[in-house]
Amino acid sequence: MEELIKILKDLHPDVDFDTCETLIDDKILDSFDIVSVISEINEEFDVVIPAEEIIPENFNSAKALYALIKKIEDED
Amino acid sequence: MNMQQRNVMEYLDKTVLQYPDKVAFSNGDIKSDLTFAELYKSSRAIGSLLSIRGYYAEPVVVFMKKHPNAVSAFFGCVYGGCYYVPIDEEMPKFRTELILQTLKPRVMICDEETAELSRGMDYDGEVILYDEAIKTAIDDQRLGKIRDEQIDTDPIYIVFTSGSTGIPKGVVACHRSVIDYIENLSEVLEFNHETRFANQTPLYFDACLKELYPTLKFGATTVIVPKQLFMFPVKLVEFLNEHKVNTVCWVVSALTMISSFKTFEKVKPEYLDNIAFGSEVFPIKQLNIWREALPNAGFTNLYGPTEATGMCCYFKVDREFDLDDTVPIGGPFRNTRILLLNEKNELCKDGEEGEICVVGTSLTMGYYKNFEKTREVFVQNPLNDLYPELIYRTGDIGKRNSRGELCFVSRKDYQIKHMGHRIELGEIEVNVNNIEGIRHCCCVYDKEKDKIRLFYSGDIETGEVITVLKDKLPRYMIPNKVEKLDRLPLTANGKIDRKKLASM
């Protein structure tokens, strides 16, 4: 989780990713961020997020995103 | 090209007779759809109101959310003989106010939400509510008189682009250059009444001309894609299919967002067969994924500066490219000439690099209230010492390949293209330098990763720098990586060493 928070903090140091659950709804993340985050997750966790998982629900909070990473890791 | 046409709204005047009940602009929500008849009526009502209230031949700020109604407001300004200046709701207040200071507009058209926001602005002109404005009784006589008096060099819009001094520059475009552009773009991309566009680009840039005016000209349809969908590739493609979109003119990053996540393994665009892209270099790997997914679609690379009314060159992808190739920008539209000038202001020889300069009707009028900047780049053709002939110096360096096709090489200065937006790194630096606690700063662009990197020294934390910048600059100009250094590296001449920073 810490690594993920760091990836997100690098993009938006002013956001509290531990608590924020409206990253998409409140337009905190934009399309550039999504692309960056997915590529960094790929490097850091060696996890490829498939296109069908790139949906608002999975990106609204660091927690949801982390759960997605874990889910994909478990499937492998 | 129809030589009789003097006014862009003649497109709508004709089309409304042919396709009154067809949807012209939509945002995917049926309640928001505007048919040509509705568009014609509402924009003429707005034009009438502007005229009745005494506004004429002056800037009208359109401050509305991205919605078919905003398009109707644009056309209303043109019917009223004024020129529209689109302002975005997501633009930071600071930047909006810089633009308002330049314009000193007397009137602004808002929707309910933005009217609220406008109250917090340093603006004391009139605010017209869109929903009220469209109730105005149309005054055919007034509108007819305005039309008769207008000439084709009258302005129709101003769009603001990044300025290296920190102040955005307003590019003024007139009927004649837009008509020239739309006629020639339409010929190249073969638009017709069955064209269904999906609009991606913001309405506050010239890029949306590609959809707006061909829609009027042909009685086509434009679906404005909700911005959020550009984060979610599968949903985006499903949206295109749901709305039977067959044509897109998008920035490269919007297209690669789809291809790079293997979206096509899940869902493919079913109707899309005409794909134009521009503003950035299309990585060949991504282009190949697209071509493989849509083998029967046409792909066209477009190139052009805002100062030449959008796009002025095109290249139809007609062959395979190696992974390290770049897609050429090809050659100019009809009625536009490109000069490639070397440092001696002579035409480049084969393969020689030089500045891409544009000549022709497509040139805009220049920068609003900024004769000095205008004169720097709209200059006398150095090859012509016989009579006045303006060229626009783009600042882009290009060369011709062995096939004679024009290719983009680099920029002459610190202007970059990031997520399809044109940005002066200098504008970011000016704003950083203005922050209390900053000693020195420098912005570099990491082309490979498409990231803006900011380096600075001073007594302020990185998070705070970003927080302050978010109030000053539009989202796409916020550096993607901010690094604090004890001191910035200098060159032997004592200048900030950009090369060294770029390699850090």
Q: Determine whether the interchain pair B466/A54 forms a contact, defined as Cβ–Cβ distance below 8 Å.
A: no
Does the domain at B1-172 match CATH 3.40.50.12780? Answer given as yes
Closest-CA residue of chain B to A16: B463
Q: Determine whether the interchain pair A24/B231 forms a contact, defined as Cβ–Cβ distance below 8 Å.
A: yes
B65 interface with A at CB cutoff 8 Å: no
CA distance B91 to B98: 11
R_g of chain A computed on alpha carbons: 11
Higher pLDDT, A35 or B44: B44
Strands B298-303 and B59-63, by their bridges, are unpaired
Task: With a threshold of 0.95, tell me whether the complex ipTM lies above it.
Answer: no
Buried b (16+ CB within 10 A) or exposed e, B419-439: bbbebbbbbbbbbbeebeebe
CA distance B297 to B273: 4
CA distance A20 to A8: 12
Residues of A with CB below 8 A from B232's CB? 54-56
DSSP annotation string for B176-220: HHHHHHHHHHHHHHT--TT-EEEE-S-TTSGGGHHHHHHHHHHT-
Q: What is the CATH number assigned to the segment(s) B225-413?
A: 3.40.50.12780
Q: How far is CA B249 from the centre of its chain?
A: 11
Q: Looking at the DSSP assignment, which residues form a beta bridge with residue B221? A: B196
Summarised one tens digit per residue, pLDDT across range B53-112 is: 999 999 999 999 999 999 999 999 999 999 999 998 888 888 899 999 999 999 999 999
Residues of chain B with CATH 3.30.300.30: 418-502
Residues of A with CB below 8 A from B265's CB? 51
Strand order in the sheet with B331-332: B34-35, B23-26, B221-224, B196-199, B247-251, B274-278, B298-303, B313-316, B331-332
Residues of chain B with CATH 3.40.50.12780: 1-172, 225-413
Summarised one tens digit per residue, pLDDT across range B324-374 is: 888 999 999 999 999 999 999 999 998 999 999 999 999 999 999 999 999
> What single DSSP character describes residue B490?
B
pLDDT of the residue at B3: 57
Nearest to A14 among B90, B467, B475 (CB): B467
> What single DSSP character describes residue B226?
P
Q: Please enumerate residues of A whose Cβ is less than 8 A from a Cβ of B.
A: 10-14, 24, 27, 29-32, 34-36, 38, 49-52, 54-56, 59
Q: Are B380 and B390 contacting, i.e. CB atoms less than 8 angstroms apart? A: yes
Interface with A, mutate which of B232, B250, B266 (most A CBs under 10 A): B232
Residue B278 reports pLDDT greater than 80? yes
- CATH number, domain B418-502, options 3.30.300.30, 2.60.120.10, 3.20.80.10, 3.40.50.300: 3.30.300.30
Q: What are phi and psi of B315, to 5 degrees?
A: -140, 125
Residue B1 reports pLDDT greater than 80? no
pLDDT of the residue at B352: 96
Residue B354 amino acid letter: G
Residue A1 C-alpha, separation from nearest chain B C-alpha, in angstroms: 20
CA distance B335 to B177: 11
The residue with tokens 């042919």 is B18
pLDDT of the residue at B152: 97
CATH topology of domain A2-75: 1.10.1200
